[in-house]
Chains A and B, each alone.
Chain A
């Protein structure tokens, strides 16, 4: 290991995703540019007694495309999404066989973990007693298992760590991977996040905390930065990036999408679920990432907002952007792709990092759809309804989680 304490550069060499819009990163990106909406009535369970009727479900996912039947029966839906996304990213990067397994890490987040298994096995416990709880229950449920299974699948023998910071999990995982590569602890990482919490108990919990939109109109439910916004729409899926030390990527002739140039990680230390109304923690996370990225007033910035569509988040996040960018906030391009994907919770930061990377490499920014009634308290440029061509130089992804976790990852063109 290089002991000069030199900071190493980190680049993105692979992407993969399973989202409510499509079953690959590229198809998801195309759908976003077209402003497609992934939200529809919930089909995963009967919502008769539920106030919230909509979700952004992954559609047409076939686990058999990724693993054997015997493995599927002991894998929770959240891990399936993570593994599928990781498989695509690993294939895309062509890194396997080109890296020492001891130098390949996994940093993969989930907000909740295997709540599908939790629900179904708890039903068995109540209906048939403790003898009938599956021996796979614990490994299916625990929130580190996606990271563990990804490490097994790709023989990644460096650190394998989950980030469990609610809706910031994906971005925290990516940020921690950036740091680990920068400081020489590994040479590459499979990183991202996955989530599958559209279950009876999951949705009931989010509804009762008044976090979800109860709209029944898919085109007027996930409404980031719109005056009508009244909660998020729960989504699901997985997204993965291969981060790699620059010289390592260059030496093997890898395709490089972008450079990962900054990470900020803070806590509000304020309230378990409500964001700090002064946006102190979120703005500090953004500032940390911007500082590391070498941000200057000449940069043309894209912010992929956390933008959940809850009344409090979008207002305080707007404040955070203003605190972080000052006078330049009004010039920044901002969008919330959650208007199309719903809130993929622990996978959100990962798909949104991919959006940043693609926006940089293609010079186009996906829109915030269904933004038709501006809110005076959200008065920046949120790229409403249509993708915008823009030669951005710096893209940052914000993720803010219950617990007061704030994470921000920054990317530049190489």
Chain B
């Protein structure tokens, strides 16, 4: 569920099909830098209805999904 939301938001941003976003996709390879990750996290806060203060480095989509899922628990 979290993964699907993250994939959807990133696909919207970089104009690709959500199916192209994989757990192991690296942000760098998607052309997403650290500012973009902060911005996308704000969008995810609205989408998921939780507060997300990103306090760790995330390299891949999976890292971000794990971070969000840990916050949800």
Contact = CB atoms under 8 A, between A and B. Distances in A.
Interface of A: 68-70, 73-74, 131-132, 134-136, 139
Interface of B: 13-15, 31-32, 35-36, 38-39, 42, 53
A70 B42 contact: no
Contacts of A68: 14-15
A70 B53 contact: no
B39 A134 contact: yes
A132 B43 CA distance: 10
A139 B53 CA distance: 21
Contacts of B14: 68-70
Contacts of A131: 53
B38 A135 contact: yes
Contacts of B31: 70
Q: Is the interface of A mostly helix, strand, loop or mixed?
A: loop
A139 B32 CA distance: 16
A139 B33 CA distance: 14
Contacts of A73: 13, 39
B18 to A, nearest CB: 15
Contact of A69 (B15, B35, B53): B15
Given A74-B39, A131-B53, A135-B35, 14 more contacts: A68-B14, A68-B15, A69-B15, A70-B14, A70-B31, A70-B32, A70-B36, A73-B13, A74-B35, A74-B36, A134-B39, A134-B42, A135-B39, A136-B39
Contacts of A135: 35, 38-39
A85 B31 CA distance: 25
A132 B14 CA distance: 21
Give the one of A69, A74, A132, A135 with max B CB within 10 A.
A135
Given A70-B36, A74-B35, A132 B13 contact: no
26 contacts: A68-B14, A68-B15, A69-B13, A69-B14, A69-B15, A70-B13, A70-B14, A70-B15, A70-B31, A70-B32, A70-B36, A73-B13, A73-B39, A74-B35, A74-B36, A74-B39, A131-B53, A132-B42, A134-B39, A134-B42, A135-B35, A135-B38, A135-B39, A136-B35, A136-B39, A139-B35
Nearest to A132: B42
A134 to B, nearest CB: 6
A375 B15 CA distance: 56
A136 B15 CA distance: 19
